[in-house]
Amino acid sequence: MSIVEKKNKVTAQVASTKVLIADKSDKFNKKKTESLESFNNKKAKVVEFLTDLLTILVGFKILIETIVDAFTYYLTKIEREIKKGLKIELKSIVSCGLNPKLPDFLKSTGSGIVIEVSKIDFFDVFKVDPKSSSGKLLYKDITPTLTDSGDFNTFLAGVLQSPTQTFFWNNASHQPLLQITFYDQGTATRPNNTLVIKAAPNYDSKKLTDLNNDFINTLTLFNTQGIINRILDSIYGSISFSINKSKKQLINEARINTVIEKIMDADANEVINDSYFTFTNDETFKQEKQATLRQQGIHVLQLSTPTASAIPVSMLTDMNNELGLPNLSTIQQKAVIANNFTKMANKLTEKSIPNIPNIPNMPPIPAIPNIPNMPQMPSMPDNVSIKLSFTTELFKNFTKTIISSVISPKVIMIFLINLKIVYGADAVYEDGVDFIKKNKNIFKSLIKGISTIVIKILLGLALKEISKIVAKAIVKKRIEKMKHRKDQMLSLVGVGMQALNNLASTIV
Amino acid sequence: MSIDVNKKDENQDTGFLDSIDGVLDTLLAAFKVPEEPVAPLPPPLIMLGGKLRPGISVQTIVSNVITRQAEAGLPTGDVFADGPNSFQLISKIIVEEIVNSLLNECVVNVVIDPGIPVMVAGANGGGPMVSMGYTTLYGSGNGIIR
């Protein structure tokens, strides 16, 4: 049986069971099925399929609760797995016949490794001031001086504000690990805007893997607020619009997302070849369209009539302020997120954006003559569909956002240091796509690992809901059998159909 | 500088969640519930009551379907802008074809289990005799739907 046939069988089972257990008063949402593209998609797209399936199984409230659980309970586990994977990959980069001791040029007495800031900051994070309102959504642990922050990106942002001054980044035991100096002015051997990185003196005698592992241990890859901000930005462009991100930058991000999506859709045994890192015309067009919409802070909802929607950055700021309150328990944190998600979903149902702004159009398809026009569905945005679409988009972008969070200066820097040690001072990652390509095994493993966690969450919920409706169906079937037996026995003693219909209400 | 980006995957996860097939099979399995067999009706009731039945009727079925159409939110009667209600017409055609097939093509095979009590009365040289026993083979027969 093909994937599409199996998908249709699952949805048909859900539909028939729901019809079987439906009361006469139940109202079926005829609009919902219009957006369920994943049901007829030949590609695997497991997460898309499961989220769409859940929209016909459960309501908005349960979906919100599930996504909030994912944000509050699973992120720590995901971060732990990612760090483990990063350490293994770093070890595999440097252990190919090389002396794992620190090379002399990386030691505190050496010349250091020179890294251009633009070669580790593929998302232009450092162009945003951590102390600005948008910066508060992108950076973590923002301290007055920045250079004493516990988050490496914030620390680096602080280093960049004090050229020629050397700062130390400490390990988890608060011992110096790396010393970093920023030079905005270049020399004959060093371009402008570069970081010179050396090990701290106490690491001179240690092995490179120790430095790598200790560095990875100091990193906080993401937190609940950060991931929520990034997901909402990747869907609605809320932050991108507020900080005027360039279209070029947004296209770069869309390219990275395309690669992640392709790897997500790959089978476990598929070898990730070069085709995953090159783009078709359709993909390029889609990237440009996404970039344009994000630049304008717009997301198009695929309802009966495509409808533009937006979530203003102020809603993100409000949620972050609430989540930033001291001594917030996990239950309180969950309540804050659920409450804000509900507010955002309600906001989307307001028709505040009358028209979809200009987005690039595909070349028009030549008109086919003599085809009668089909009657059009009336333009009536369905609030239920909009709210469900909001939650499913969060799930669909969960893995992509976590992986793109890994492509952050704090991670790229340590990988670039190792790359330069192995392949020479000129070795660089050209862009985010190149970074994934050169570390494709770890990215495949991470993407599959996170997808599996998301699938487990969604599948668990789907199975729970299916078992509920199947249990109801079993009860209904038994009652039906009893009713049929009674009807047949009555009909055999001469009771007519009309009389049986009148008696029907006595059992069911 | 050359970087080996074609090295073999070392982190393959072979769990069932890795493939859409595994997920879909899990979902489909959730719908499979063993069902108990239906309880038989008392045979004397069938024997007597069967003679009282009016038989299957296209008109009755179509009439019931159209009457209940509103439960599914479909309009009953002619839809003025679009002319006659074609859904009702197709309902009639479907029911007609099913009933025609049941009446004219369908056959009912009946199997009678072994073990039916048998009593035989007769006589021989020794005088009258009564023999009692059970059938040891199954019986079979054909029927039609009316």
Reported as a single tens digit per residue, the pLDDT across B103-113 is: 999 999 999 99
Please count the structural domains in chain B. Answer: 2
List Cβ neighbours of B107 (8 Å cut-off, separation of 6 or more).
B142, B143, B144
User: Regarding predicted confidence, which is higher, A371 or B40?
Assistant: B40
Mutate to test the interface with A, among B10, B17, B46 (most CBs of A within 10 A): B17
A499 touching B, CB under 8 A?
A: no
H or E, element range at A471: helix A440-492
Of A317, A320, A387, residue with least CA distance to A347: A387
In SS3 terms, A95-128 reads as CCCCCCECCHHHCCCCCCEEEEHHHCCCCCHHHC
> What pLDDT digit, counting tens, does each position of B38-85 carry?
888 888 888 888 888 888 999 889 888 888 888 777 777 776 666 778
> What pLDDT digit, counting tens, does each position of A289-337 carry?
999 999 998 888 877 677 788 888 899 999 988 988 888 888 898 999 9
Lowest model confidence (mean pLDDT) among A43-52, A216-225, B7-16 = B7-16
Distance in angstroms (rounded) separating the CA atoms of residues A222 and A504: 60
Asked if B30 lies within 8 A of A466 by C-beta distance, the reply is yes
**What per-residue confidence (pLDDT) applies to B95?**
93
Lowest model confidence (mean pLDDT) among A134-143, A247-256, A407-416, B77-86 = B77-86
Query: Do residue B98 and residue B122 come from a single domain?
Result: no
Question: Quick one: closest CA in A to B44, which residue?
Answer: A492
**What per-residue confidence (pLDDT) applies to B9?**
42
Contacts of B46 in chain A (CB under 8 A): 492
**What per-residue confidence (pLDDT) applies to A369?**
53
**What per-residue confidence (pLDDT) applies to A447?**
87
Question: How many angstroms from the chain centroid is the CA of residue A85?
Answer: 19
Question: How many angstroms from the chain centroid is the CA of residue A55?
Answer: 19
B18 touching A, CB under 8 A?
A: yes
Half-sphere exposure at residue A481, Cβ-oriented, CA atoms within 13 angstroms: 12
* Residues of A (43-82) whose Cβ lies below 8 Å from B: 44-46, 49-50, 53
Of A261, A203, A221, A199, residue with least CA distance to A399: A261
Is the pLDDT assigned to residue A388 strictly greater than 60? yes
Q: How confident is the model at residue B6 (pLDDT cuts 50, 70, 90)?
A: very low
Distance in angstroms (rounded) separating the CA atoms of residues A286 and A349: 25
pTM of structure: 0.74
| B129–chain A nearest CA distance, Å | 38
Q: How confident is the model at residue A37 (pLDDT cuts 50, 70, 90)?
A: low
| B83–chain A nearest CA distance, Å | 15
Of A319, A499, A443, residue with least CA distance to B9: A443
Contacts of B24 in chain A (CB under 8 A): 3, 6-7, 9-10
Of A171, A172, A168, A177, residue with least CA distance to A204: A177
Q: How confident is the model at residue A33 (pLDDT cuts 50, 70, 90)?
A: very low
In SS3 terms, A127-166 reads as HCCCCCCCHHHHCCCCCCCCCCCCCHHHHHHHHHCCCCCE
Query: Do residue B97 and residue B125 come from a single domain?
Result: no
Of B18, B42, B50, the CB nearest to A268: B18
**What per-residue confidence (pLDDT) applies to B14?**
41
Mutate to test the interface with B, among A10, A399, A436 (most CBs of B within 10 A): A10
Q: Give the angle A271-A277-A280 at the CA atoms, nearest 5°.
A: 115
Per cent of chain A over pLDDT 90 is 27
> What pLDDT digit, counting tens, does each position of A452-506 carry?
888 888 899 999 999 998 998 888 888 888 888 888 888 888 776 667 666 665 5
H or E, element range at A247: helix A247-265
Establish, for the pair of chains A and B, how many residue pairs have beta carbons separated by less than 8 Å: 121
**What per-residue confidence (pLDDT) applies to A451?**
85
Q: For residues A347-371, give the mean pLDDT.
A: 58
In a domain, B71, yes or no: yes
> What pLDDT digit, counting tens, does each position of A269-300 carry?
788 888 999 999 999 999 999 999 999 988 88
For B37, which DSSP code?
P
Contact A469, A21 (CB under 8 A): yes
| B24–chain A nearest CA distance, Å | 7
Of B23, B42, B54, the CB nearest to A455: B23
| A172–chain B nearest CA distance, Å | 28
Length of chain A: 508
Structure tokens at A426: 């000129």
Q: How confident is the model at residue B34 (pLDDT cuts 50, 70, 90)?
A: confident
Contacts of A442 in chain B (CB under 8 A): 11
| A420–chain B nearest CA distance, Å | 11
Is the pLDDT assigned to residue A368 strictly greater than 60? no
Q: For residues A240-250, give the mean pLDDT.
A: 89
Asked if B23 lies within 8 A of A49 by C-beta distance, the reply is yes
Is the pLDDT assigned to residue A34 strictly greater than 60? no
User: Regarding predicted confidence, which is higher, A369 or A125?
Assistant: A125
| A250–chain B nearest CA distance, Å | 26
Contacts of B57 in chain A (CB under 8 A): none
Is the pLDDT assigned to residue A19 strictly greater than 90? no
**What per-residue confidence (pLDDT) applies to A53?**
86
Asked if B30 lies within 8 A of A44 by C-beta distance, the reply is no
Question: Quick one: closest CA in B to A420, which residue?
Answer: B1
A271 touching B, CB under 8 A?
A: yes
Contact A252, A432 (CB under 8 A): yes
Structure tokens at A370: 């003599």
In a domain, B117, yes or no: yes
Asked if A488 lies within 8 A of B11 by C-beta distance, the reply is no
Contact A398, A454 (CB under 8 A): yes
**What per-residue confidence (pLDDT) applies to A375?**
45
**What per-residue confidence (pLDDT) applies to B4?**
45
The residue written with tokens 């239906």 in the block is B38
Structure tokens at A340: 């804000």
User: Regarding predicted confidence, which is higher, A380 or A209?
Assistant: A209
A419-453 b/e (C-beta count within 10 Å ≥ 16 → b): bbbbeeeeebbebbbebbbbbbbbbbbbbbbbbbb
In a domain, B22, yes or no: no
A489 touching B, CB under 8 A?
A: yes
* Residues of A (423-442) whose Cβ lies below 8 Å from B: 423-424, 426-427, 437-438, 440-442
Q: What are phi and psi of A372, to 5 degrees?
A: -65, 145
In a domain, B1, yes or no: no
Contacts of A456 in chain B (CB under 8 A): 17
Q: How confident is the model at residue A377 (pLDDT cuts 50, 70, 90)?
A: very low
| B127–chain A nearest CA distance, Å | 44
User: Regarding predicted confidence, which is higher, A160 or A190?
Assistant: A160
Distance in angstroms (rounded) separating the CA atoms of residues A284 and A31: 31
Query: Do residue B97 and residue B60 come from a single domain?
Result: yes
Query: Do residue B68 and residue B92 come from a single domain?
Result: yes
Distance in angstroms (rounded) separating the CA atoms of residues A60 and A54: 10
**What per-residue confidence (pLDDT) applies to B82?**
65
Structure tokens at B53: 């039945």
Mean pLDDT (chain A, rounded): 83
> What pLDDT digit, counting tens, does each position of B99-141 carry?
999 999 999 999 999 998 999 898 888 888 888 999 999 999 9
For A373, which DSSP code?
P
Asked if A466 lies within 8 A of B13 by C-beta distance, the reply is no
H or E, element range at B140: strand B139-143
**What per-residue confidence (pLDDT) applies to A501?**
67
Is the pLDDT assigned to residue A31 strictly greater than 70? no
Of A66, A61, A57, residue with least CA distance to A11: A57
Distance in angstroms (rounded) separating the CA atoms of residues A53 and A460: 12
Query: Do residue B96 and residue B124 come from a single domain?
Result: no
Distance in angstroms (rounded) separating the CA atoms of residues A463 and B30: 7
Distance in angstroms (rounded) separating the CA atoms of residues A68 and A481: 42
Distance in angstroms (rounded) separating the CA atoms of residues A443 and A436: 6
A339 touching B, CB under 8 A?
A: no
Residue type, A380: M
* Residues of B (73-102) whose Cβ lies below 8 Å from A: 73
Contacts of A485 in chain B (CB under 8 A): 38-39, 41
**What per-residue confidence (pLDDT) applies to A380?**
42
Q: Is the dihedral of CA B74, B80, B82, B83 positive or negative?
A: positive
Query: Do residue B64 and residue B79 come from a single domain?
Result: yes
Where does chain B have alpha helices with state H?
A: 20-31, 43-49, 58-68, 86-104
Residue A55, beta-bridge partner list: none
Domain containing residue B144: 107-146
Contacts of A496 in chain B (CB under 8 A): 54
Lowest model confidence (mean pLDDT) among A209-223, A418-432, A443-457, B77-91 = B77-91
